[in-house]
Amino acid sequence: MAAAPGTDQHALTERVRALLPKEGATATSGAELAAEQARQTAENTEALTKMLLVFAGIALFVGVFIIANTFTMLIAQRGREIALMRAVGASRRQVVRSVLVEAGLLGLGASAAGLVLGLGIAAGLRPLLDSAGAGLPDGPLVVAPTALLGSLTVGVLVTVLAAWLPSRKAAKIAPVEALSSVEASAPARGMRVRNALGALLTGAGVAVMLYVSTLDNGAETNLLLAMFGSFLTLAGTIVLAPLLSRPLVFLAGRVTTRLFGVSGKLAQENALRNPRRTAATSSALMIGLTLITGLTVAGHSVDRAMSRAAVQGLTADYRIANSAYLGLDPKLADKIADVPGVAATTPLASAGLTVDGEYALVSGLDPKQLGKVSDIDFTSGSAAALGPGRIAVSETYAGRAGLRTGDIVKGRFDLDSGKPAGLKQLTVVGVYAENRVVSGVVGDLGDVLPYAMDGGYDSVLVKAEPGRAAGLDREIRSAFGDSPLLKVQSREQITREESGAIDVMLAMMYGLLGMAAVIAILGVINTLAMSVYERTREIGMLRAIGLDRTGIRRMLRLESVVISLFGAVLGIGTGVFLAWTGGSLTASGLPDYTTTVPWPRLALFLAVAVLIGILASLWPAGRAARLNMLRAINAQ
């Protein structure tokens, strides 16, 4: 309603509230409603922002390896230039400073370009989301100064930090060594220290994750421990990558040599020549595939478990709910029961319940009808004992709250319906195994409904008469005028809905993690392009002794594929391990959860890695094939 000019909103709201019944209706001023909607919007966007920042952090983490690899190769190519600088008096500190200043300037330019591109993407998302039916509110694109400054600062700092180790390496090059035409190999002691550190990190990570696999709940401390173990495992694998590259690249090279002859052999030798470079180039792809594989395996396992659990314990033929995700009118169950072919109905209502500081959702239902529409497995007590002032609890909630059958407790109903929290003495009459039909606590419908969320039923479970299940959904819809607000689902449709939610989540994750794949492609292109420049003379010699342009292209293409496959194998293997050891924490409420590996999808990931290698090699391989033979031989 609209207030007359000069009327105070608060005073009008109070007068309207005095006219409304005590239950089933409430009055709210426009200002209060706007404030509540603004609060909910802020909460929703905050969660989305945090999720996007996580994926942005992943992209930055992947980019660090590409930046570090680029500066390492640049410094190797500038060996003589650095030597001359040292010979004419430049100190080590000056060499480090020059590299870091260059990195800072490059980071500033790249960050500015990324900022402009990001703003363009943000502006283009509005019409895209509107066309998808997201219904975003109208308004200009809001760009906070802190976001601009933060993006530029992070971009510059990440670039400078990634270039720090290469700059230290540049400062340690002796002038005489740099002036030599022979490329210095990595010190054996340095590789031993790196391998020892990698083994230590990987061993610690594996030990932590194996311990995590023995935990049976998704408590916050357990999730943090799993994240820590995953980080250690991934970091250790990255550090060990140069050591692991030798056997894996050698095996891949045997295949390329057998299939492609000389070009395949040369590709193998080039990938083995510098294990650190091979590892750094493949690390970006490895990180992306570790995350994608871990999510895929965990998501597939949860999907299978949810599909089984969605109808486990449900003997009803249909579940009826509000398609707008609002409460159902309590009178609806009586009308559904009158539909021809319906044998029994059980309404479900939900509210929040806190016992001894432990919160859970409580499902309110009619105990007399429960056995007709569901089959809940009680480990102690029974459903027959349910009634006013009595509850049954799941095994998980019983463990958290320290409850047993026969306990008498004080429970506080917490809710969003606007009614004051109700404190009630409750008797625990049973403990049951986890079940998707009901929540962590089951209570009498009369106790729960006054505090129910949205002031109504969540759903109504319907059991059909023998032989009448087929087509009963049409009868129910017809009885209510085919209302679009009434969602009638069969057992099969419930299962598909549960699976669809996981598929949507995975699709979103794949889209966001696709950034890591794009960065990985750019990393391989960058490394191969710089490698072609570095090996110009070598390519000229290969042309001189008979390797044609096609052979040069094939050599670089196979080298790119071998490097990509190495990163893919490491990433997929690490992702499967992390999903196996940590996946159960994300599905602690699913008693039937087991890790299941979607092998066809993992094979697809390997095929995508091969495609990434081929695409990344197109420009560098084409450039190498177009090199003039004589000029390449005379290149310095």
User: What would the pLDDT profile of 274-327 be if each residue is shown by its tens digit?
Assistant: 888 888 888 888 988 998 899 889 888 888 777 776 656 677 888 888 776 677
Contact 585, 218 (CB under 8 A): yes
HEC string of 338-354 equals: CCCCEEEEEEEEEEEEE
| Predicted local distance difference test score (pLDDT) of residue 417 | 47
Mean pLDDT over residues 153-179, rounded?
85
Output DSSP code: residue 144: -
Residue 430 DSSP SS3:
strand
Contact 192, 243 (CB under 8 A): no
Mean pLDDT over residues 342-359, rounded?
86
- pLDDT tens digits, one per residue of 45-86: 676 677 777 778 877 887 888 888 888 888 877 877 888 888
pLDDT band at 236 (very low <50, low <70, confident <90, very high): very high
Please give the biggest Cα pair distance in the chain. 99
Residue 533, both tokens: 């420049």
**Cross-strand pairs, 144:** none
Q: CA 237, 239, 240, 243: dihedral to nearest 10 degrees?
A: 140
| Predicted local distance difference test score (pLDDT) of residue 3 | 67
Q: CA 430, 433, 435, 439: dihedral to nearest 10 degrees?
A: 40
Q: Measured between alpha carbons, how far is residue 274 from residues 168, 269, 523 in Å? A: 19, 9, 16
d(CA 259, CA 261): 6
Mean pLDDT over residues 394-403, rounded?
88
| Predicted local distance difference test score (pLDDT) of residue 230 | 92
More confident residue, 6 or 610: 610
| Predicted local distance difference test score (pLDDT) of residue 23 | 52
Mean pLDDT over residues 318-342, rounded?
80
Q: Above 80 in pLDDT, residue 239? A: yes
Residue 268, both tokens: 């193998």
d(CA 588, CA 462): 29
Q: Which of 16-20, 93-97, 196-200, 290-294 has the lowest mean pLDDT?
A: 16-20
End-to-end Cα separation, the chain, in angstroms: 83
- pLDDT tens digits, one per residue of 562-608: 999 999 999 999 999 999 998 877 655 666 778 889 999 999 999 99
- pLDDT tens digits, one per residue of 121-138: 877 776 766 665 555 566
Residue 620 DSSP SS3:
helix
Residue 263 DSSP SS3:
helix
Residue 314, both tokens: 């449900």
| Predicted local distance difference test score (pLDDT) of residue 37 | 63
Report CA torsion sign: 403, 409, 410, 415: positive
pLDDT band at 187 (very low <50, low <70, confident <90, very high): low
Contact 439, 362 (CB under 8 A): yes
d(CA 328, CA 321): 7
